[in-house]
Amino acid sequence: MIVIKCAGCKKKLMKYHKVGKGKILNCWFDKIKNDFTLREKESVVCECGNLIGTISAKGIRMKPNSITYSGTIIKK
């Protein structure tokens, strides 16, 4: 489980069950545990106004430069 934070204000955005290596490019809705983000139509934004990503069919397409994260990534 990792904690994804806003790169702008360091606020916690969501807890995410990450499996596999690599960067977080897409967050699937069924693996998001706690979601503190806001929605503006197709956009996912932080309370500070930082654009985090955009909604796609099954998840959120993240903007890697907008987020930081910490925690353990489970290796398959």
The residues of the shown chain that bind Zn ion, judged by CB under 5 A, are 6, 8-9, 11, 46, 48, 50
List, in order, residues 6 or more apart from 48 with CB less than 8 Å away: 6, 8, 9, 11
Cβ–Cβ under 8 Å, residues 65 and 52: no
Cβ–Cβ under 8 Å, residues 14 and 36: yes
Q: Which is nearer to Zn ion, 13 or 18 (CB)?
A: 13
CB of 51 to Zn ion, least distance (A): 10
CB of 32 to Zn ion, least distance (A): 17
CB of 21 to Zn ion, least distance (A): 26
